[in-house]
Every structure is written in structure tokens, then in C-alpha cells.
Amino acid sequence: MIYPWQTDDWQRLQQLRAHWPHALLLHGEAGIGKLAFAQHLAQGLLCETPAGNGEPCGTCPACLWFSQGNHPDFRAVLPEALAGLAGPAAADDASADKADDGEGKKSRAPSKEIKIEQVRALLDFCSLGSHRGGLRVVLLYPAEALNVAASNALLKTLEEPPSGVVFLLVSARIDRLLPTIISRCRQWPMSLPDAGEARAWLASQGVDDAAHLLAEAGGAPLAALSLSHDENRALRDFTLAQLAAGPNCDAFACGENLQKLPVPMVLGWLQRWLYDVLAQRAAGRPRYFPGAGKALARCAQSADPAALARCIKAVTRQRAVENHPLNARLVFEELFLAYRGIFTA
């Protein structure tokens, strides 16, 4: 199934069917449904009786196997931490190298990277013939999770693609992919839905205050839906209150209260707030937190432009290594201290 706002992308993509690329890179904002789109596309490519527009029939043996997660000509490669998002086949691949402490328990946190062992197993799959006489489809999500060794191993295959194999790479951070990998894929930017269409869909999902949640999510409906059920909402509100306090932000309280949260989540809140401070200065209109307009106006008025630019740069730099912080509490304290320092006396 694809989402209502993806119909145009689907129809335009079908124009490639006559000369389908060996590697397709679907990229766009996080939270717009790229993974679901790629899964539906994979099912359509494997379907034995597809509709004229490429939609899978849903009833042939290939579609039934796909929906059950055991199609022999499909492989999904995800980090251990995301195992299960794309079905049992993905879980098997992603958990192939988990450690065990001898009592059936994992001895470490699941990896957030796609590792070289997973890519090597994938290459074995690519070397085999098709079980059903059609295509073999490989889905990699998120492609930016490929570590350096895995990226280099995959690159060799993309340079000399096996016959009959289609790679679907999905990414929300195309800037983190090796340029050599990007150059060997057909890029396909996935568009954000129209704001009205997204609000209507969120309302159909029972979401209240869809407009504000959609703004905070940068226009991505699935991200907004996730925010509506976020168990960390109280800490998010605490963080925004601290940021709204401007020069009175308590950096050490932020470090203490937020240290157990995922670092990317907190950095995302901080980065969006800083963007809105800048947007308020430049255009008088915030993008992500329209409900905090008065607080943002106060912060924008007293912020030093050069210090604001340095703070934004520091957060951006930290986001590049957000999955490998040495100490989350220290990272947060340093960044919130930097934020407090942007305000003039």
C-alpha cells in the first residue's frame, strides 16, 4: 500500500519500467513514507500478474509470499536496531551477527549501522539465480546507515550489477552517502505532500491539532503522527520551555533530564528551534513551532547573529556523529550552554 500523497510519484516512476535502472535511490524527508513506498514497489516488481500501472495484484503466489515476508527473490537489509520493519526476511539479515551471552540474551545494544557482514550475505544472494524466473529485488534502508566497509563492498556490486537484480536504496540523508554510490543510482526525490492533504490524512487518523504537529514535523505526515503518540512529549515540552527562556535556559537541568533520551531526538528539537529563531529574525515567521511565536520573537530580538550562526554550526556538526556520542549528558550541556550564549546582555 502507498499513501495518498504518493500517487503522483508512483505514476511518474512507472515511466521507467521499459528501462528499469539496476539501482534506484529513493530519497526525501524523514516521515513521508519512503519505506512503505519502496516495499510496495518491490512487491510490484516481483508480482507475477501486476496491474497496468505496476500495482501488485496482491493475490498471486509472489504477492502472498511477499506479504508473509518469505519471498525467495527479495532481501531487505536494515540495521539490527530496525530489524523487523521490513518483515521476517529483513530481521533474519539484520540479526545475523548479533552477539549472545550464552543465555539467549543479547550482550550489547543492537547496531544502528548496516555492516559489511550483511552486505556480504547480500552478495551471495545476488549471485544466485531467480527462484521464480523473474527479478531479484534488494531493499536497503536507511542507506545512510551503511558503514564505510559496507559501502565499499556494496559499491563493487553497483559498479558491475548482476543481471536481473534491482537495488532499491531508501534515504532521508542523501548527504551522508558516498558520492560514488549516489552516482551509480538513479536518483528519485520523493516529494512532501500538500499541507492540506497531509492535515486531512492526519485528521482521518484521529490526530488533534494536526496543523501544529505537521509544522513541527516539517510537513511529514508520518512524523507528525508519531509526534501525536510520543511518550517523550513531556520532556519535549520541557526542552522547548528551556529554549523559550533564552538567556535563562538551564543547560545543566537539560543535561540531567534529557540524558537518557536518544541523542538524535534532542538534537532535532534544538536544531528546529534554532532554525525558527533564524527564520523569525529573517522573515518574521517560524516554520516548525508556530505556536511559540511570541517566545521565538523574544529570542530572535536578543540573539547575536554571529553567535547564533556558530551555535547552529555546532549543532549541525554534532548531528553528523549523533549516533556515537561519548556522553549524552555532556553533549547536551555543551550545546545548551552554547545556545544560552547567543543572547546579548
| CATH number of the domain encompassing residue 26 | 3.40.50.300
Residue owning grid cell 536504496: 169
163 and 245 fall within a common domain: no
pLDDT at 134: 82
**What is the DSSP secondary-structure string of 113-166?**
SB-HHHHHHHHHHHHSPPSSSS-EEEEESSGGGB-HHHHHHHHHHHHSPPTTEE
118 and 166 fall within a common domain: yes
Tell me which of 229, 255, 283 is where a domain ends.
229
Total structural domains within the chain: 3
The pLDDT tens digits of the residues spanning 186-236 come to 999 998 999 999 999 999 999 988 999 999 999 999 999 999 888 999 999
| Average pLDDT over the chain, rounded to an integer | 89
State the pairing for strand pair 23-27/186-189.
Answer: parallel
Range of lowest pLDDT (37-46, 106-115, 229-238, 259-268): 106-115
Domain residues for 306? 231-340
Edge-first strand listing for the sheet containing 74-77:
74-77, 136-140, 165-171, 23-27, 186-189
Decide: pTM greater than 0.85. no
50 and 144 fall within a common domain: yes
- Asked whether residue 280 is assigned to any structural domain, the reply reads yes
- Asked whether residue 105 is assigned to any structural domain, the reply reads yes
Q: Is the pLDDT of residue 55 over 70?
A: yes
List the grid coordinates of 199: 492535515
